[in-house]
Homo-oligomer: A and B are copies of this chain.
Amino acid sequence: MKKSNDTKANAPTKSRREIKKFWTDEGEQELSETSRKKRAQIIEAALETFLQLGYEGASMNLVAERAGVIKQTIYSHFQDKQSLFREVIASLTVDYVQNALQEPELINKPLPAVLRKIAETILARHQDPRHIRFVRTMIGEAERFPELAKLFTDTTVRPVLSLIVERIKNQTIYKFDDPEAFARVFIGTVVNHCLQQHILHGKELLPFDATRLVDELVAIVELHRVS
């Protein structure tokens, strides 16, 4: 369909580097300094381009140009456009999660403080235009690249949900009948706010202060305090 040239349609091929790695014996030989630099340039340019134009909209020519690299260099590091996209988006996904809720300082704070912290983290992240584009791309390409959506779910959605559930269960001041459901109410509200405000341009059309939302959520938590 369309413009996809399946010159290499079948028989999974490997990028040049992978082929080399295959039959020079196992050495793991780390790429040379400059080679790793080129690779980093490619990844950076690819990220920028894919997040801006989407998978179909981005062209390898543009990526090469932005990376300051010749197209062949890309194809010696990555098998094809799909591989590049997958690799780049996947690594961004895990990058995001790894600098996230690793803050151990909130370990024994009261539940509302923990929830506020989580909400703040999500909200702050959506101040970064790149993260907004990341979310849009993730959603927009979720059908073409379901593995990426799964990765996102595994590394981001599930952990934050279980974190909340765990915190709810590990305290006795507030009582919830269905902690998992409440966790979803909480992050659903925050995430939908980000989506609506930043991606669907609600910020300009139907602006709403996130603080009111978080306050409302915390007020709801307070209603669950055991008498």
Contact = CB atoms under 8 A, between A and B. Distances in A.
Interface of A: 1-3, 53-54, 56-57, 59, 62, 133, 136-143, 146, 149-150, 152-154, 157-158, 161, 177-178, 180-182, 184-185, 187-193, 195-196, 199-202, 205-206, 208, 212-213, 215-217, 219-220, 223-224
Given A136-B142, A213-B185, A201 B2 contact: no
Contact of A54 (B54, B178, B200): B54
A43 to B, nearest CB: 20
A36 to B, nearest CB: 29
Contact of A205 (B150, B192, B200, B202): B150
A53 to B, nearest CB: 7
A150 B201 contact: yes
Contacts of A220: 185, 220, 223
Contact of A139 (B1, B59, B136, B215): B136
A80 to B, nearest CB: 17
A89 to B, nearest CB: 14
Contacts of A200: 138-139, 142, 149, 152-153, 157
Given A153-B201, A177-B216, 18 more contacts: A1-B62, A2-B57, A2-B59, A136-B139, A138-B200, A150-B201, A158-B206, A180-B208, A184-B192, A184-B193, A184-B216, A185-B216, A185-B217, A188-B192, A188-B193, A192-B192, A192-B195, A220-B220
The binding surface of chain A is classed by DSSP as: helix
8 contacts: A153-B201, A153-B202, A157-B200, A184-B216, A185-B185, A188-B191, A192-B192, A195-B195
